[in-house]
Amino acid sequence: MNIWLTGCTAGIGRALVDEFIQLGHTLAGCGRNQPVLDTLEAAFPGNYFAAVDVTDDAAVQTFCEEASANVGPPDLLINNASIINHPAPLWEVPSDEFDHLMAINVGGVANFIRSVVPLMIEHKTGTVVNLSSGWGRSTSPEVAPYCASKWAVEGLTQALAQELPNGLAAVAVNPGVINTGMLQRCWGEAADQYQTPQQWAVKAAPFLTVLGPDDNGSSLTAP
């Protein structure tokens, strides 16, 4: 399977790289940490890794063209790249921080869909997985911008599912609670009681690769 993954240099994205490749899949991944991308490129020849700002539609389009040329069109796109706000009441979150979060968490998803779905339509197959959150289906104080972005991802995914032709699918997936840098920002040492990205990816990678048309429009939770 040819898998395209955003946010592949940290957290669950980085952990998924190892699992997908171990399972024999081909990967095109993007992120913002160039040293990590260089390490991935050296460690996993035959795959494709590049630095991309997901908020830049032109940069996303270029990445998709180059990824397709290097590894072929995607069978599975996983929109994973996201950030979380510094915990604070909504009225104390600066406008530039709010706008930047929405540009990545929602705009970045839309940018990749804009470039990838036409490739999937051309090949009459493909699944778009947009990673949501428990905070895309519930809320907590001091993370209102993040909640808003993930609720938006849920709605965007369901609308996209209604637009796709037969053979394609759009699925929102809540990865669950994982001890990532984002969780540590919110919960501090309490995050240590949850599974690591590596532990999560062992179960999640096989789950993600079997999603398809029968799951179109679903809001699922990873095992």
pLDDT tens profile 85-108: 999 999 999 999 999 999 999 999
pTM recorded for the entire structure = 0.95
CA dihedral (40, 46, 49, 54) positive or negative: negative
Task: List the catalytic residue out of 20, 49, 112, 146.
Answer: 146
pLDDT for residue 62: 98
CATH code of the domain covering residue 190: 3.40.50.720
Q: Is 48 a catalytic residue?
A: no
C-alpha dihedral, 149 to 51 to 117 to 85, nearest 10°: 0
pLDDT for residue 165: 98
Structural domain total, the chain: 1
pLDDT for residue 189: 72
At residue 190 the predicted structure's pLDDT band, cuts being 50, 70 and 90, is low
Q: Is 195 helix (H, G, I), strand (E, B) or coil?
A: coil
Domain that holds residue 23: 2-221
Q: Which of 4-8, 120-124, 175-179 has the lowest average pLDDT?
A: 175-179
Query: Helical H runs in the chain?
Result: 11-22, 34-43, 57-71, 95-102, 108-123, 144-163, 181-187, 197-209
Q: Could you give the angle at the alpha carbon of 127 between the alpha carbons of 126 and 133, nearest 5°?
A: 165
> What are 27-76's pLDDT values in tens digits?
999 999 999 999 999 999 999 999 999 999 999 999 999 999 999 999 99
